[in-house]
């Protein structure tokens, strides 16, 4: 490899995750080789069951690969555990889910502050940062609302704010538009693209929809757990 080339944010070699099922196993992903450079906006496509969520979970440090090598932002995820992973999740990645996953007992502002507070940042700083983000996302008037009182689009924007509060270098989104109408879906994808453009964050979006195709630097596709030729359409 060329020594001048920049270190990739995501570096996976022969990455596999299988699930035991009785005596046999079910393949989540199989022998995936993947490099994503800093500042890239990548769209991950594939049929349902092709392994998109499985891959994202590995990248986010929520799951362990059964085989292969995985380095994300310099963290060797294939052989780290416990405290390392926690630090990794706090500092390096921000996650956005299809079903938002806001905590119902916390209000909007508290939901956004949560990762910063968990990371031990002072409450004042977390609050200021959250207010700034929510203002940017147009949610300033809803600070004290419970998640149950928000629309899907508002919930997803809140989730994005939450993903951003610790200034992660990598944003992982799993079907972020899956539960939204096309207009709200557009808004969310535009926001993710904006994050990539303005602050050079790496963004990986797993999606069925074509909303992000035009904005993506690169498209990758999974079929039956393996990466196939990288084309966006079809």
Partner 1 sequence: MRRLTFFLRFFLWFSGRHLRRHLGRALVVLFGIALGAAVFTSVRLSVHASLHSFSRSMDFFAGTAEKVLVRPGGYVPEGVLPVLLAHPAVKDFSPLLTTFVRVYPPQGSSFLLIGIDPLLDQSFRKWRIRGDREKTAERWLDLIREPYTVILTEPLARELGTVSGARLKLEHARRTAEFRVAGILIPEGLALVEGERVALTDIATFQELTGLYGLVDRIDLTFKPKTSPLDIEDLARKLPDELELRSPSAARDSGTAMIRAYQLNLSVLSFASLFVGMFLVYSLVALNAASRRRELAILRAVGASPRLLFNLFLAEGALFGLCGWLLAIPLSSLLVRYLLHSVSQTISTLFVRVQVEGLVLSPWEILVSFAVTLCISIAAAFQPAREAMGVSPKEAMEIAQTGVRRRRSVRRLAAWAVGCILLCVPLSLMPGIGGVPLPGYLAILLLFVGFALLAPWMLERVGRALSPVLQRFAGMPAYLAGRYLRDSGARTSISVGALITAVALFTALVIMIHSFRQTVELWVQQTVSGDLFVTTKMGQVNRFRFPIPEPIVAGLSQLDVDADLVPSRRFQMTYGDFPYEFEVMGMETFLKHGGFVWMKGDPETARPLLLRGEGLLVSEVFANRTGLGIGDMFRAQIEGSRIEIPVAGIIRDYRTDGGVVFYSWKQFRQRFYDPQWSGVRFYFRDRTRDIDAQTTGLRDTLIARWGDRLDMISGKELRNGVLKIFDETFAITTVLLLIALAVASLGITTTLTVLVLERTRQLNTLFAVGASFGQIRSMICWEAGFLVVAGEMAGLACGFVLSYMLVYVINRQSFGWTFLYTVDWGTLALSFPLIVLAALVAALPAVRTAFREPPAALLRER
Ligand X SMILES: Nc1ncnc2c1ncn2[C@@H]1O[C@H](COP(=O)(O)OP(=O)(O)OP(=O)(O)O)[C@@H](O)[C@H]1O
Beta carbon of residue 43, minimum distance to ligand X (angstroms, whole number): 13
Beta carbon of residue 30, minimum distance to partner 1 (angstroms, whole number): 17
25 binds ligand X (CB under 6 A): no
Give the DSSP letter of residue 63.
S
Are the beta carbons of 25 and 18 closer than 8 angstroms? yes
Task: Tally the residues of the chain.
Answer: 234
61 binds ligand X (CB under 6 A): no
Give the DSSP letter of residue 7.
P
Beta carbon of residue 9, minimum distance to Mg ion (angstroms, whole number): 21
If the CB atoms of residues 52 and 142 are measured against Mg ion, the closer one turns out to be 52
Alpha-carbon gap, residue 221 to 207, rounded angstroms: 10
Alpha-carbon gap, residue 227 to 195, rounded angstroms: 26
Angle, helices 152-164 vs 123-136, to 10°: value is: 130
Task: Provide the strand spans (E) within 65-116.
Answer: 67-72, 75-76, 93-96
103 binds ligand X (CB under 6 A): no
Q: Where does this chain bind partner 1 (CB under 8 A)?
A: 53-54, 56-58, 60, 62-64, 82-83, 86, 89-90, 95, 97-106, 110, 114-115, 117-120, 123, 146-148, 152, 155, 162-163, 166, 174, 179
Q: How many CB atoms lie within 10 A of CB 52?
A: 26
53 binds Mg ion (CB under 5 A): yes
50 is in the binding site of which of ligand X, Mg ion, partner 1, none (Cβ under 5 to 8 A by kind)?
A: ligand X
46 binds ligand X (CB under 6 A): yes
By rule CB under 6 A, what count of residues binds ligand X? 11
By rule CB under 5 A, what count of residues binds Mg ion? 1
């Amino acid at each position: 490899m060329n020594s001048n080339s920049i270190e990739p944010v995501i570096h996976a070699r022969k990455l596999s995750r299988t699930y035991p099922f009785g005596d046999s196993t079910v393949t989540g992903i199989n022998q995936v080789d993947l490099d994503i450079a800093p500042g890239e906006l990548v769209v991950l496509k594939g049929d349902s069951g092709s392994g998109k969520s499985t891959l994202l979970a590995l990248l986010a440090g929520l799951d362990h690969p059964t085989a292969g090598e995985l380095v994300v932002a310099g963290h060797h995820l294939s052989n780290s555990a416990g405290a390392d992973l926690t630090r990794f999740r706090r500092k390096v990645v921000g996650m956005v889910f299809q079903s938002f996953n806001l905590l119902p007992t916390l209000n909007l502002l508290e939901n956004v502050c949560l990762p910063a507070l968990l990371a031990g940042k002072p409450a004042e700083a977390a609050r200021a940062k959250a207010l700034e983000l929510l203002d940017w996302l147009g949610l300033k008037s809803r600070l004290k609302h419970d998640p149950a009182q928000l629309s899907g689009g508002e919930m997803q924007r809140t989730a994005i704010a939450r993903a951003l509060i610790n200034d992660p270098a990598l944003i992982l989104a799993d079907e972020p538009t899956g539960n939204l109408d096309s207009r709200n879906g557009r808004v969310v994808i535009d926001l993710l693209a904006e994050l990539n453009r303005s602050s050079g964050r790496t963004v990986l979006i797993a999606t069925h929809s074509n909303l992000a195709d035009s904005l993506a630097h690169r498209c990758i596709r999974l079929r039956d757990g393996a990466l196939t030729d990288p084309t966006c359409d079809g």
